[in-house]
Amino acid sequence: MADDIDARIGRNLRAMRMDAALTVDALATRTGLQPAVLALYEAGRRHMPVEVLTQLAAALDRPIADFFG
């Protein structure tokens, strides 16, 4: 079940990043995260801590709830 949630959050992260016309590198620069780590989050292959979710929501100017939609 956790894998399903991680995959959903990852898909939504990728969609929001693309809607914002940002590359993985650009979002990494905004958040201070490594591009490779962001790629793992988008692929749903790594669990995203709440702190990172908060950083990404701020960088994308989106509410946290959008990650779960």
- Architecture per CATH, domain 2-67, reads as Orthogonal Bundle (1.10)
pLDDT for res 50: 96
pTM: 0.93
Longest dimension (CA), the chain: 31
Q: What tens digit of pLDDT does each residue of 17-28 get?
A: 999 999 999 999
Q: What tens digit of pLDDT does each residue of 27-64 get?
A: 999 999 999 999 999 999 999 999 999 999 999 999 99
pLDDT for res 2: 65
Domain boundaries, the chain: 2-67
Over the range 12-41, which residues count as b (16 or more CB within 10 Å of their CB) and which as e? bbbebbeeeebebeebbeebebeeeebebb
pLDDT for res 10: 97
Token output for 25: 């590198």
More confident residue, 39 or 3: 39
